[in-house]
Structure formats: structure tokens, C-alpha cells
A and B are shown apart, each in its own frame.
Chain A
Amino acid sequence: MEKNNTPLLELRNIQKDFFGNQVLTDINFTLEAGQVLGLVGENGAGKSTLMKILFGMDVIRETGGYKGDVLLNGEKMQFNTPFDALKAGIGMVHQEFSLIPGFTATENILLNREPIKKSVFSEVFGERMDTLNYKEMDRRAEESIKKMGVDIDSKMVVSDMPVGHKQFTEIARELSKENLRLLILDEPTAVLTEREAQALLDSIRSMAAQGIAVIFITHRLQEILSVCDKVIIMRDGYVVKDVPAKETDVREITRAMVGREVKEGGNAAREVRDHSDARTIMSIRKLWVDMPGEIVRNVNLDIKEGEILGIGGLAGQGKLGIPNGVMGLYDAGGTVEFDGKAIDLNNPRKCLDAQLAFVSEDRRSVGLLLDESLEWNVAFPAMQIQNKFLKKIGFFTWRDEKAIANVTNQYIDELKIKCTGSAQKARELSGGNQQKVCLAKAFALEPRFLFVSEPTRGIDVGAKALVLEALRKFNRESGVTVVMISSELEELRMICDRIAIVSGGKIAGILPADHSSEEFGMLMVSQVK
């Protein structure tokens, strides 16, 4: 690894905001050719936004661009599309595979860059009528597989491959691009077995030895320490630490990742109550949930009556799978007992009948009827499950429009939902107000137990506080047990009594909420899959 005077990549004063929400503030770092950089940070730290800037994704341009400079070999670069980035020699392997299932590894590696043989037709009908040079394709594919350093079958069709090999095919594809100088790997080992992960690390080392710089994004701190030259930790849009890997350890990295200074006059009334004497109202054993992207493997959890329990953890580790699995929205197995009685899984109706309620993290797809009025949204579950807001005329039960309007207006007032009236279509409200509608919907059911998943996602700061306060008030006044799932640790620490951390699809640990962020951080990275 030579050290030139100008680094391969330099980021200077990068700033990015999404409509006033500052996501990246003054990012600076350099990367030399052949260096491996480990990029670490919680969700929301800004890692993916930074990579989107580097890779020229449309969403950056569409939301007002960015400030600061990206320099490649000392030259200022402006990437407007991923193809600009590709041309400049930057490659990226995303978490979701971008492969054609029915093609072989070779065909995928060379997709849209296949070597061709000129044919007679191309003179008349254009260059796409040239035939593929299969021999040359095989040769190039084999070459890039060798460059990668992991042996995969180039003739195997992708849909037949084990998951790990799909990942390697993607990497081989990037390597087959001749001008590749910088490769970004986004959580590459999430789907690999132990052995495959080791093979990948070897492959990264060999790529670096060939002069390719690598940015390695992962939560697996051990891997970072074993293969990276330097580590950059991001938090809340800042680079909080930029240190050679040799000079740091897991503890220090975690501290940098999650540690926050106590805010002046923060949420003063934060009381952490002890519910260890209360009875266990819900008991979850051996829960597994097949929720794509948030798989739960083996969760055992006891929830105390009347508490506010927080569930946190890094993205993709399974925390969202827990409420979705218990409430029957995704395929699940295991046992759940509520108030002494067993609850059937895979049956949303049974959960709602048992007076459990759920505010989903997916407002738009699951939480709301966007094209219907607020009245419909608020009253619907209560109407269907508990026969509320209905009146009997003759043999039939009709909608009681007046009662529905009343209850909707009641919640509009209580939760201060900003709208033109209870008849407004849900689609027209802002994110924060839509979330309040979802809460109202759950409250209208007068549940005995409430799961709330990512309640403040995509909401502006002002509305966030209101939503959290509404939840806390609900718990204090009615004694309803609340389980809140959130990727924002600080939020959980603000209103929860205890916080459980999910890592690798299992509960890594439960601590009272007043423990330090660092302790929670350690739990988060402990069994990362």
C-alpha cells in the first residue's frame, strides 16, 4: 500500500439536511488507495445518507442536494446518478441483492457489460443485435471471482445459490468493473455463515492488497477490528471518532457510538419506576417471527403489568419482528400468554379480542386507510372488534355515523390533531398528525396492553414530544401496559421504565432505563447477526 500525497477519497465539510432536518453535519475524512475503512454508527447516525451522497443516488438530488465536497484523487466530483459514480470507479454492494434470479453467476457478473461479437445485423438494427461472446464472458467472470478470492460456481443459477454465494456474486460483479478504485460494502456479512464471513474478510484483505480502497459498513465490531485499517464512528450526523483500528477496541467504539452528553434540563420528570413486584401480564417464550428484514429467532420476555417497557436494538436485528409476530401480522411460532391465558399466534383477531392493541411502524401501508376519512380510521377496529359505534335498527346493525364523528372529534381534541375536520382524508395530514390518528385508533379500542412500534419515525421534533407525552399520559392515567419499540435509544430512555435490547433476533439483555447509553450500546452490538 503506497501512500500518495493526495488521498484516493476525501470528504470535506459534507452537510445534508432533509427539509430542515439536519442529517449530516460537517463530515470530514480521507481514505487512501488500498486502505480499508470501517464505518460504524447507530441507525440514524447518517451512514446510509453519506453513502447515498457518495454513490450519487437520486434521492439526494431530489431533496436539495448536499453541501461540501467529494474529492477523488484531489479532483472535485459531482455525482448526479449512480452511473456517474460507477464511471468514476466507485462500486457499491447493497444489503438487498440486485441479481437476476434466473441468470448464472457469470451472466449477473457481466450484466449489461457483456463482451460482444459483432454481427451482420448490428449494422442495420443497432448495436444491441451483436451476439454475446460467451467464451470471453466466462473468462472475465472467472477472473473477477479469482480477484475476489472466494470460490463460487460461475455457472450456477442465482436462484439455486445459497445466500452467501449471492453476496459473493455481487462482489465479483463490482470487481469485474475494470476501473474499480473504491468499493463500498453495506452490511455484507449479515447473511453469511461464520466461514463465509471469514472468507469475505480474506477477500477484503486481498482487494486492499490490489490497491482497491474499501469502505466496510457493519455492526460487527470484531470484524472491523480484524480487517480495517481505520475506524470512523458516526453519531447524529457527526464524525465522533476517526482512529486507526490498532488503537481502539470494542468498548471504546461502542461508547463513541451510543454515548451522549446529558442534555441541559432534559426531560425533567423522568422517573424510572420499579415494577419488579407487579405481576407478569405478558409472558413470551421461544418466539420466532418470519418478518423479512427483522427476523426474530428465539425471544423470551416477561412484561410487568403497568410498566412502560422499551425494546431497542440496531436495525434488522429483530426488534420490529416482536410486536408484528405477537399481533399476528407475520408468520410466527412459540407461545404467548396474556393475563394467564394463551394467545393464538398468526391470528390478529384473537389478539384484538384479548384487548391487545398495536400501533404499527408502517403507518401508510398498515396503519391507515389513506383514502378514507379520519372517522373511518379512528373508529374502524373498535367497531369491528368490539361492536362500538353501531346501532341496531330492525335485524341489522348499522354504522352510527354520529357516534363515530363524536369519538373522532374527541381524539382530535385530546391529541391535538391538526386537520380540517373529522371527515378529512387521512392522506392529507402530515406525518405527525397521521401518527396521532393511529394512536387514537388504538386508544379507541380501550386496550389493556399496547404495542407501539417506532411511534416517532418520520415526525418533526415538535410532534415527537407530543406523541411521547401522549403515550406516557395514557400509561399513567389508565394503567395500561405499554411496550414501545424504537431505534432511538434516547427516546426510550426518556419514557420507559425498563429497556430490552434485541440483537441477532434474541433478547441480549434488559436493564432499567436509567443505565448508561454505553451499557445499552454494548448489548446492541453483542450478538449482531
Chain B
Amino acid sequence: MKTKKNFNLGSLISANSVPILFVIICAVMIPLSGLPANYLLNEVVTRLGRNTFLILSLLIPIMAGMGLNFGMTLGAMAGEMALIMVADWQIWGIPGLVLATILSIPLSILLGLLCGSILNRAKGREMITSYFIAFFMNGVYQLIVLYMMGSIIPIMHSTLKLPRGYGIRNTVSLLQMRQSLDNALAVSINGVKIPFLTLIIIALACLFIVWFRRTKLGQDMRAVGQDMNVARDAGIDVDRTRLISIVMSTVFASFGMIIYLQNMGNFPTYQAHTNIGMFCIAALLVGGASVDKASIRNVFLGVILFHTMFIVAPAAGGKITGDSMIGEYFRVFMSYGVITVALVMYEAKKRKENRTMGQQLANEQKAEEEGKTA
């Protein structure tokens, strides 16, 4: 009995090695950083509200076997463009956010369709392809926002434009709608602000995802994600199902980006989305997800652990080496590192052949021999 228990513990640890590693890192760095507990808690709760929706958008493509959707950046871009328009029309507060959300939908659907169709042509290489689609679309985004807005696309307020007369400025201020979502129904406990409305929206998204898994489409996606050929033979439209999963993810990402940006209050027009994909993916993986399996639990666990590390690393690094830059580089290193580890583990698992078959054959032979002589 005892050995059985040990074995289970061992496999439990190895299955959750990444989250456990991060728990240890945080446990070490929190006291080192010297940050007060209240501040830390407040920061974590804020970041939870800010980032969770974005990370949730990654779940559906994983379910459909598309791996880590670096193309969520496209959804972020859609959200940004919608916010630029709303800021230009000077519609603030919650109505502004609702309008931005509605505006972003056709845009994110379009981008999702584009991304999804390219990915359908690169089956087996979805992740690296979505990675480059994001980079490519960044160029298109710049084309639109830096050149076409203000010239071809009318922008009314010159405060948004660059001095040369066209193109959006490097920073777009959302001051008048800053935290309008978060502040509505906010409750302050001991100096920790809890943005209830935001959390309710996140909870609704989670409920949607749970419900979605029980729909026919969700079931089809799960089937396609595990074996495209079997699904196809059963009559499921594989390409269309995969396409829908990317479109859904992109739409979710654009909503998530709007929530993110309203919390920040302003955004660097050309930089906001460049690393968002990587950080969300890293957070999800830190929560224990893998390239082919991710749940809502991973999202929440990941957001908390990842962002805690993110907050304390510069301060802890400063205390240790006297230079807080170390901490900043450290958190970037951990983000890349955790993605690398997850990718390696996923590929290595794919390659683990049934080396047991050979042993089985040898044993069969032996048993036969013994049966004969006995």
C-alpha cells in the first residue's frame, strides 16, 4: 500500500511540475522583495481582473487541437482599433466600452477567419504559423493605424493624430474611461480593490466555456482536436470546426484586450499587443496547462502565480543584486523559459513510442517456451 501512495505522489509532482516550480519561486521572492502584503494582494487582484479574459481566449483552440494560439494578438489588435475609434468619437465610460466591444466584433471575426484559414493550410505546424501570422498582421496593423487612419479613415480629433497630420499617436489616452468597468461595483476591503463587475464578466465567460463544452460544436471540436482523420470519417467538417475555434478565440481576445486597456487607462498604440500573446500563453502554461490540454483551473492558477512573480521579481532582484533590471530580465526569462519547457515536454511526449510492445513480444516468447517445457 505504501509504495502505491509514493508512486502517486511522484507522478502528481511530475504532472504539475511547472506550477509547483513557480510556487517555490514566488515563495522565495515575495519575502525578498519587501513589498507589503496589501499592495501585493491589490496588484494581484487588479491583474487578475485585467488579464483573465484574455487568457480564457486561449482555451478553445487548445480544445480543437490547434495548440497555443499566438494569433490571439489579432484579436487584441481588433480591440485596439475599436477603442481608437471610440476614443475619437469621444464616447466614454461604460457606454464607450460597450460600443467598442460591438465595433470590435466584425473586425475580430474577419481577422479570425483569415488566421483560421491560413492555419488550415498548415496542419501540423499551427503554432509556429500562428506565431508568424501575428507578426505579419502587426505590419498590416501599422499600415492601417500609422498610415491610413487620419488620411483615408477619418479621425476627427487632432489630439489622437501624429503631428504630421495622419497616423495615430504613440499613446492613446483612455483617461475618461479608465477603470470605468472596474470601478463599477468595486468593493474595497482592507485597501484591496475588488472590481466586482469585471469579475462577474469573467465568471460569465467561464460559464460560457463550461457550457460550450457540452454543445455539439464543443464535442466536435474535442473530437477534431484529438484525431482529425477519425472526425472526418465520422462526417464532421474538420476545417470548418477548426476555423470556428480560431474565430471564437479571436473575438474573445478582442473583448479581453478592451478590458485590459480600460484598466490601464492608456495604451502604447504600437506596442500594446506585441507581447500580449506571449505573456498570456506563459501565464496559462504556468498554471499547469499543456499544448493539448488546458482548463479554467489552469487559467486562474496561472494568472495568480505568473503575475505574482511578475510583480515581485524586479523588487527581489533589486534587493539581491542592487539592480532591479535583473528582476525585470528575470521575469522575461521565466516567461520564455516556461513556454520552452512546455513545448519540449509536449513534443517529447508525442515521440514517446510504445517501446513496451517489444518487451511484450519477448515476454510472450518466454511464456510460450515455459509452457512447452512445463
Q: Which residues of A contact B (CB under 8 A)?
A: 82-83, 98-103, 107, 111-112, 114, 116, 119, 121, 127-132, 134, 286, 288-290, 295-298, 331-333
Contact = CB atoms under 8 A, between A and B. Distances in A.
A121 B211 CA distance: 11
Interface in B211-243: 211, 214-217, 219-220, 222-223, 226-227, 229-231, 233-236
Contacts of B368: 298
A276 B327 CA distance: 80
A66 to B, nearest CB: 22
Interface in B291-315: none
B216 A127 contact: yes
Nearest to B221: A128
A288 B362 contact: yes
A295 B358 CA distance: 10
Contacts of A127: 216
Contact of B234 (A98, A116, A298): A98
Contacts of B236: 111-112
A112 B235 contact: yes
28 contacts: A83-B235, A98-B234, A101-B226, A103-B222, A103-B223, A103-B226, A111-B223, A111-B230, A112-B234, A112-B236, A119-B215, A128-B215, A129-B217, A131-B211, A132-B215, A132-B216, A132-B219, A134-B214, A286-B365, A289-B361, A290-B358, A290-B361, A295-B361, A297-B361, A298-B364, A298-B365, A331-B355, A333-B358
A138 to B, nearest CB: 14
Nearest to B233: A98
B152 interface: no
Contact of A100 (B226, B235, B361): B226
B364 A297 contact: yes
Contacts of B223: 100, 103, 111-112
B216 A116 contact: yes
Given A100-B226, A100-B231, A128 B216 contact: yes
User: B219, B220, B362, B364 — which one has the most chain A CB atoms within 10 A of its CB?
Assistant: B219
A128 B234 CA distance: 15
A102 B219 CA distance: 12
Nearest to A94: B233
B357 interface: yes
Nearest to A86: B235
A103 B225 CA distance: 11
A102 B62 CA distance: 14
Contacts of A130: 215-216
Nearest to B244: A128
Contacts of A98: 229-230, 233-234
Interface of B: 211, 214-217, 219-220, 222-223, 226-227, 229-231, 233-236, 355, 357-358, 361-362, 364-365, 368
A114 to B, nearest CB: 6
A193 B227 CA distance: 27
B361 to A, nearest CB: 4
A131 B215 contact: yes
A409 to B, nearest CB: 40
Interface of B is mostly: helix
A128 B365 contact: no
A384 B222 CA distance: 47
Contacts of B222: 100, 102-103
Contacts of A107: 219
A94 B223 CA distance: 19
Nearest to A346: B358
Contacts of A121: 215
3 A-B pairs closest in CB distance:
A128-B217, A288-B361, A112-B234
Contacts of B235: 83, 112
Given A100-B226, A288-B362, A297-B364, 14 more contacts: A82-B233, A98-B234, A99-B230, A100-B230, A101-B227, A111-B234, A112-B234, A116-B216, A127-B216, A131-B216, A288-B358, A288-B364, A298-B365, A333-B362
A287 to B, nearest CB: 9
A332 B368 CA distance: 18
A331 B226 CA distance: 27
B341 to A, nearest CB: 23
B357 A290 contact: yes
A154 to B, nearest CB: 16
Nearest to B230: A98
Nearest to A125: B217
Nearest to A111: B234
Given A112-B235, A290-B361, A102 B226 contact: yes
Nearest to B227: A100
B3 to A, nearest CB: 22
B220 A331 contact: no
Nearest to A81: B235
Contacts of B214: 131-132, 134
User: A114, A130, A288 — which one has the most chain B CB atoms within 10 A of its CB?
Assistant: A288
A82 B355 CA distance: 35
A242 to B, nearest CB: 32
A112 B220 contact: yes
Nearest to A112: B234
Contacts of B226: 100-103
A290 B360 CA distance: 10
B351 to A, nearest CB: 15
A82 B235 CA distance: 10
Contacts of A332: 358
Given A82-B233, A111-B234, A112-B236, A288 B215 contact: no
A70 B18 CA distance: 59
User: A290, A331, A333 — which one has the most chain B CB atoms within 10 A of its CB?
Assistant: A290
Nearest to B216: A128
Contacts of B365: 286, 288, 297-298
Contacts of A82: 233
